[in-house]
Amino acid sequence: MKRTLLWVLFALSTAVQGATLDGGIYPPELKPAPDEAHAAHLAAELLARYHYKALPVDSALSTKIFDQYLKALDPEKLFFVQADINQLSGDRTRLGEAILKKDLRAPFAIFNLYQQRSAERFAYARTLLKNGFDFQEDESYQVSREKEAWPATEAESRELWRKRVKSDWLRLKLAGKDDKSTFEILDKRYDNFLKRSGRVKSADAFQTYMNAYTMTIEPHTNYLAPRAAEEFDIAMRLSLVGIGAVLAEVDGQVTIRELVPGGPAILSGQLKPGDRILGVAQGEGGVMIEVIGWRLDDVVALIRGPADTVVVLDILPVDAGPDGKHKLVSLTRKTINLEQQAAKASIHSLVDGNVTRRIGVITLPSFYEDIEARRKGVKEYRSASRDVARLLDGLKKEKVDSVLIDLRNNGGGSLAEAVDLTGLFIDRGPVVQQRNAKGQISVESDTRAGLAWDGPLAVLINRSSASASEIFAAAIQDYGRGLIIGEPSFGKGTVQTVIDLDQIARNSKPQFGEVKLTIAQFFRINGGTTQLRGVTPDIPLPSLADPESFGESSFDNALPWTQIKAANYSPAGNLKGLLPVLLALHDTRVKNDKDFQYLQEDIAEAKARHKKNLVSLNEAQRRKELAADEARLMARGARKDVAADGSNDGEERASEKGAPLRDDGLQPGERSLANELANQKARKDARDILLDEAVNILGDEVAVMQTGSGLTAGIRRAPVVVRLE
């Protein structure tokens, strides 16, 4: 089972509260809780006993844990200096002992030093704002420092931060902000970093350290603290008990971002997006707890609770000023279904002369499954395969000619769901093979007779399609059941299970969390594995992903590619004869599709800037680059906004929907909610160029199969789309 970590690693980017440069206040020292030491020791015992690649917790592993821990804390080498690393190196070979001896003082000391250094850096950053910057100088800033050494001295660190702050200032200046606004935005940004880290807890430090340990063994082995485990369970079953409001931190306040259709919040008629939550009380007449300055996840935890219980919110309405009138809103908690994260279907109509072909598209964000309900024997439990089967019934009634399963950005989920989903398109047979640590091989098969869809089929994947997505795509490809379109997938060929530490310890309440550990490697039915190599598409599409920095092959300790004997299966078809015709039609069409060509240009430009890894801090040079970008886009006949630089902090420079966005210099939480929602809608409404081309390829396939020739397939673009409810 592939489980996605939903916890927030505050240590990666936060700083601490109240830090000053003149020997002032540093963040409160974090100390390990007794429960954490016990949880760490229990997790180590389980990993040593059940992991596919069990490793002893010795000095060699400790050295790797040390390096992974520092990488988790300071990946861009922005906070520590070399003297810090030298000082901490005394624990390089002893971090594993912290687990075995149930003494976590050493890893917490490292975390506390990180907190101290980050406080110093952001406090220093605020001092740099007072005098502004000279943007006539010819200097540059390195965007990514992951492969660089730590600064050798404090002076070198300060110079690095001077350039970082100067880059932040210039980005806002290029976006049209005046000096006064820029100062206020950046001063507040750095101050928020300081305040935010003042809310970092022992559990955050512990989770960071534990994941340094688990990921040292193997990339997909992780520790989930109790709250992270709860969030994962919600994502898997697509439901929670709450009020039906999506919350976000906007300008330092917990704000209602969206209201979920059918939930208590929207049905009350008393709440709107943009309303701010100032307090939470349990039940009518309960004590109101002020939540101003709280962490978002702590506020969420207060609002959630048992079904049919009452929660009271102290609300500052969206249209009220800071001193405006509050109102109290009482809501009864209900089960909320997360429909936005469920499978969805749409129909794309293609006109080819006098013929209209209809392609059904099913978008599947994850292989979700309500595991507990299934275990209890609930007949109508929620799952990805069940939802897809229902959508297929709807598409068949609409008489679609072909079906495309869109698995882009689907990181996986339930292995059982991958098998069941494959079973919708094959008539019994093996789907995936597993090999455990003892070398024993088992086969997971579809045992149900019949198919939910026996017509033309394709699967659309990208680099973020992983695990269960790869199992499904590989099986469809090996059976010859459908085309695989897109880019090579992630390359995760391992199987995980989750062990609840509290169940083992017989804790009555969640205390220890869970461990997700790799227990097997999965293999395709043809005997190969997707490990490292992923699934190779039959028809490739452009990719923005860099295999060296994203995907299984980017991990130093990933399991190697290997092969076993093929399973006993009979292919359902053979599409190899169609590929030359489909590829030729695809090539001809995209050469005449200006948007597709523009997307390729944008991707090439983004990759070039990423490789360069430098941005100029000279205003004239940057404006020249921006003007060149604008001119290039204006030459396309319709102006599109483009990022002012190639940095990774702002809006995406190029997306798969082919709609580059202007860099406004702001970070998440700094934009107004209205602007955030408008940008989200613009991205959603933008033409999805790669999806359109995948649909066109399926239209070609249908045309070739119907006529016996690809010559009648016309040039089609931007199909008319009808969404199915």
Q: Which residues are catalytic?
A: 467, 478, 492
User: In a 3-state reduction of DSSP, which class is residue 63?
Assistant: helix
Residue keyed to tokens 């943009």 = 274
CA distance 617 to 180: 19
Contact assessment for residue 371 and residue 414, using Cβ atoms and an 8 Å cutoff? yes
Contact assessment for residue 11 and residue 204, using Cβ atoms and an 8 Å cutoff? yes
Which residue, among 91, 93, 101, has the nearest Cα to 41 in the 3D structure? Answer: 101
Which residue, among 307, 234, 319, has the nearest Cα to 276 in the 3D structure? Answer: 319
Contact assessment for residue 599 and residue 654, using Cβ atoms and an 8 Å cutoff? yes
CA distance 175 to 172: 5
User: In a 3-state reduction of DSSP, which class is residue 59?
Assistant: helix
CA distance 539 to 249: 42
Cα angle: 556, vertex 557, 563; to 5 degrees: 110
Q: In the 8-state DSSP scheme, what is residue 307?
A: T
The helix (run of H) or strand (run of E) holding residue 229 is helix 226-237
CA distance 197 to 17: 6
CA distance 617 to 623: 10
Cα angle: 544, vertex 2, 434; to 5 degrees: 110
Q: In the 8-state DSSP scheme, what is residue 553?
A: G
Which residue, among 478, 484, 488, has the nearest Cα to 458 in the 3D structure? Answer: 484
Which residue, among 413, 24, 443, 471, has the nearest Cα to 237 in the 3D structure? Answer: 413
CA distance 87 to 89: 6
Burial class (CB in 10 A: 0-12, 13-18, 19+), 523: buried
CA distance 45 to 341: 35
Do the bridges between strand 457-461 and strand 483-486 make them parallel or antiparallel, or are there none, so unpaired? parallel
What length is written for the chain? 725
Give DSSP secondary structure letters for 429-489. Answer: EEEEEEEETT--EEEEEE---S-S--S-EEEEE-TT--THHHHHHHHHHHTT-SEEEES--
Contact assessment for residue 102 and residue 37, using Cβ atoms and an 8 Å cutoff? yes
Helices (H), 245-383: 264-268, 296-303, 371-375
Q: How far is CA 299 from CA 15, 285, 290, 570, in A?
A: 20, 19, 10, 54
Burial class (CB in 10 A: 0-12, 13-18, 19+), 43: buried
End-to-end CA gap in the chain: 29
Both tokens assigned to 160: 């690095």
CA distance 703 to 700: 5
CA distance 470 to 523: 10
The helix (run of H) or strand (run of E) holding residue 677 is helix 673-685
Contact assessment for residue 135 and residue 619, using Cβ atoms and an 8 Å cutoff? yes
Which residue, among 74, 295, 297, has the nearest Cα to 199 in the 3D structure? Answer: 295
CA distance 608 to 437: 42
